[in-house]
């Protein structure tokens, strides 16, 4: 399980936070997709979850443990982020179609 609570990342000199008080719960076994325009904080959020960068404030828990108290290498081995290029190259079910056919997007 991944839990983000009040997550903020403010880069020095930036007029506004890259991530601004994000709350998110992803249950074990659940798939979570971060979708949004360029610059909205998707990559920054994933980099904080994996401790590639530290949050300005807020908490990140993985399986009930605060990631700031975890070994970053072990943490990364236990999470499974996938770049968009990988995910978008696979057939997906278009939920808007009644036939349920799989199509590449």
How many separate domains does the chain show?
1
C-alpha to C-alpha distance for 91 and 74, rounded to whole angstroms: 31
Q: Which range of residues forms the domain containing residue 80?
A: 2-104
Q: What is the pTM of this model?
A: 0.71
User: pLDDT averaged over consecutive 10-residue blocks of the chain (105 residues)?
Assistant: 95 96 92 89 91 93 88 73 53 51 46
CATH number at residue 59: 3.40.50.300
Task: Tell me the H-state helices in the chain.
Answer: 42-49, 72-78, 84-87
DSSP symbols for 11-38:
-TT-SS-SEEEEEEEE-TT--------T
């Amino acid at each position: 399980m991944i839990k983000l609570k009040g997550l903020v990342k403010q880069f020095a000199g930036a007029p506004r936070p890259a991530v601004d008080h994000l709350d998110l719960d992803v249950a074990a076994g659940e798939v979570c997709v971060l979708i949004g325009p360029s610059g909205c904080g998707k990559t920054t959020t994933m980099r904080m979850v994996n401790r590639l960068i530290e949050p300005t404030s807020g908490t990140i828990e993985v399986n009930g443990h605060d990631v700031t108290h975890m070994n970053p290498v072990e943490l990364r081995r236990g999470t499974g982020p996938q770049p968009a290029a990988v995910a978008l190259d696979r057939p997906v079910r278009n939920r808007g179609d009644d036939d349920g056919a799989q199509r590449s997007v």
